[in-house]
Amino acid sequence: MHRTNSSRQTMKNSLRVRKIHVYLTLVLLVFGFIVAYSVQLTMSGASNLPSSTNDNEWEKKVRLNEKLINEKETNENLEKRLAKLRMEVTAKEKELSERQTASKQVLSRLEELRMRAGLIPVTGPGVTVTLEDSKSAHTFDNVAEGIVHDQNIRDVVNELFAAGAEGISVNGQRLIGGSSIRCVGPTVIVNDTKLAPPFVIEAIGNKDTLVGALRLPGGVIDILKQRTLEISINSSDKVELPAHVGETQTKAGIKPPAIQG
């Protein structure tokens, strides 16, 4: 009897222990579930926060890359435009240089024409011819034979032009294609200006050629000397001619470089 009671007590204790084990197991399971859920929730929250931050950073990087790409495209377009503008500038510079060269040539030619037309003063090598009345003209039966006439001046001037004179003046009057040398009574008139002897004829050109032309045997100077006119011929490295003053239109019947009455 005592043994039977003891066995029953043992069984009760065993059942109680099992119940406790089951209870503890359930408690541990619930606690484990709670812990696992909390850990998962914590990790999920932790992972969500960096994800949001990473998304923002990614969006910033994307926008920055897009901006860089746009800037690069803009720079490439600007470089292309700059290269095109450089080509245009180079072309314009070349065109301007060609125009300037042409302009210089035109100006040089114009200056030469103005010089030959007597419109500007010139300086250069040449000769000076002085014609003066004969000192013994008053003893001549015909006094006119000892006087310098307009025709005598024209002969010397035309001889100088024929020898290549580039410009001539008579007593400071620059001769052009429309100039006239004529007499009105005892007075010689050049470019409508009255002149008196001595008549100083200055010419610019090759001085040796000009002197040689004037000194030709039987030439214009020889003929004038036969009338005992006072004549001198001097060459110089510097002869100065003034610009023509007055009308520049060519008169009827006057053909440069010949000077007529």
> Are 125 and 211 found together in one domain?
yes
Clarify whether residues 152 and 121 are in a common domain.
yes
Closest CA to 163 of 257, 260, 230, 233: 257
pLDDT at residue 161, rounded to an integer: 95
Residue after which a domain boundary falls, among 45, 61, 95: 95
* Structural domain boundaries enclosing 131: 117-241
Instruction: Report residue 240: phi and psi, to 5°.
Output: -110, 130
Q: How far apart are CA 157 and CA 224, in angstroms?
A: 13
Overall domain count for the chain = 2
Entry pTM = 0.59
Q: 89 and 132 in one domain?
A: no
Do 223 and 141 fall within a single domain? yes
- The mean pLDDT values, 10 residues at a time, for the chain of 261 residues are 51 58 62 57 50 71 81 79 78 82 86 81 96 81 81 96 95 91 89 93 97 95 90 96 75 43 54
pLDDT confidence of residue 138: 66
Which residues make Cβ contacts (< 8 Å) with residue 247, sequence separation at least 6? 178
